[in-house]
């Protein structure tokens, strides 16, 4: 007997990418979309695919995704972002797993293919990008990290060869916008932990990130895109420590979104 699977997605203003995501989820028994107030057609798109849609004001990445998982009816949940897609080979692998009569694992992780300008980026630290996405919702929960939230399983996890495709960055503007958001959240998290930053920390961390991304992680092999990713990674690292130092000196309100 095949165990049913739910898909949990959180959204805001993602009508275009959500459509392409949902088109790959015909294998799902239930799709739950938690929307935080889209002003475009995201909700209508979700409903047209038969999703159960709920409104929830933004709680932060981890709590918002936990809210979506908590409202799924099935034990097995595939946690996706609206800019991700499940290839047919991966869908077949998921169905194969769910046909097992007994499950020895609390979750299954996938390699994630990150695309930029519709091109798969194989370097810059973007591959292999392993993510835990198929989980038993009774055997884990999301961490309380403000950024780069993770599902923490209470049991062993199996790594699969199957992939999830990630179309997060459509252009350099997307990269810059997310860099600004993530650097602010990371600075706030470090501030809450009582950390400080010397004046040289933004510079040293930024330079190290540029060197690591472009040379050690072979961003140089990705052409101009690799160079830009390295520079924007460096800028993100620089801004994270600069914002932390600013908050310590001038007040936390400067890192409130």
Q: Give the tens place of pLDDT for each residue, 9-28.
A: 999 999 999 999 999 999 99
Residue 156 has pLDDT above 60, yes or no: yes
Q: Which of 169, 200, 219 is the last residue of a domain?
A: 169
**Residue 178 belongs to domain spanning:** 172-255
One domain, residues 210 and 156: no
Contacts of 75 (CB under 8 A, 6+ apart): 3, 136, 137, 138
One domain, residues 99 and 225: no
pLDDT, residue 257, reads: 53
Mean pLDDT of 20-37: 98
What's the CA gap between 78 and 100, in Å, rounded? 16
Percent of the chain with pLDDT over 70: 99
What does the mean pLDDT of the chain come to?
96
pLDDT, residue 102, reads: 83
One domain, residues 112 and 209: no
Residue 233 has pLDDT above 70, yes or no: yes
pLDDT, residue 79, reads: 99
- 215: number of Cβ within 10 Å: 11
One domain, residues 85 and 9: yes
Task: Please state the φ and ψ torsions of residue 237, each to the nearest 5 degrees.
Answer: -65, -45
Band (pLDDT 50/70/90 cuts) for residue 252 is confident
One domain, residues 116 and 195: no
What's the CA gap between 182 and 170, in Å, rounded? 17
One domain, residues 94 and 23: yes
| Total tally of structural domains belonging to the chain | 2
One domain, residues 109 and 27: yes
- 151: number of Cβ within 10 Å: 25
Q: CATH number for the domain including 21? A: 3.90.550.10
Percent of the chain with pLDDT over 90: 91
Q: Which of 147, 169, 191 is the last residue of a domain?
A: 169
Q: How far is CA 86 from the centre of its chain?
A: 14
Band (pLDDT 50/70/90 cuts) for residue 238 is very high
Q: Which of 107, 138, 169 is the last residue of a domain?
A: 169
Band (pLDDT 50/70/90 cuts) for residue 195 is very high
pLDDT, residue 101, reads: 73
One domain, residues 129 and 241: no
One domain, residues 61 and 165: yes
pLDDT tens readout for residues 138-150:
999 999 888 889 9
One domain, residues 159 and 215: no
Residue 47 has pLDDT above 90, yes or no: yes
Residue 157 has pLDDT above 80, yes or no: yes
Helix (H) or strand (E) holding 204: helix 201-211
One domain, residues 109 and 131: yes
One domain, residues 149 and 33: yes
pTM: 0.94
């Amino acid at each position: 007997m095949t165990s049913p699977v739910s898909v949990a997605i959180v959204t805001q203003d993602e009508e275009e990418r959500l459509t392409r995501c949902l088109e790959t989820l015909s294998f799902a028994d239930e799709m739950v979309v938690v929307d935080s107030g889209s002003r475009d057609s995201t909700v209508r798109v979700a409903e047209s695919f038969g999703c159960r849609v709920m409104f929830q004001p933004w709680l932060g990445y981890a709590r918002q995704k936990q809210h979506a998982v908590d409202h799924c009816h099935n034990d097995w949940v595939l946690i996706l972002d609206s800019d991700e897609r499940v290839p047919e080979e991966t869908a077949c692998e998921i169905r194969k797993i769910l046909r097992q009569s007994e499950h020895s694992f609390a979750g299954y992780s996938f390699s994630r293919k990150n695309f930029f300008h519709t091109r798969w980026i194989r370097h810059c630290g973007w591959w292999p990008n392993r993510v835990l996405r198929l989980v038993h919702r009774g055997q884990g929960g999301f961490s309380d990290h403000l950024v780069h939230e993770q599902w923490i399983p209470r049991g062993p996890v199996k790594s699969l060869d199957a992939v999830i495709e990630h179309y997060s960055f459509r252009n350099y503007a997307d990269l810059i916008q997310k860099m600004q958001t993530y650097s602010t959240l990371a600075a706030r998290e470090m501030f809450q932990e009582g950390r400080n930053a010397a004046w040289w920390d933004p510079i040293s961390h930024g330079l190290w990130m540029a060197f690591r991304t472009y040379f050690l992680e072979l961003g140089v092999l990705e052409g101009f895109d690799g160079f830009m990713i390295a520079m924007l990674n460096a800028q993100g690292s620089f801004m994270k420590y600069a914002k932390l130092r600013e908050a310590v000196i001038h007040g936390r309100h400067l890192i409130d979104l």
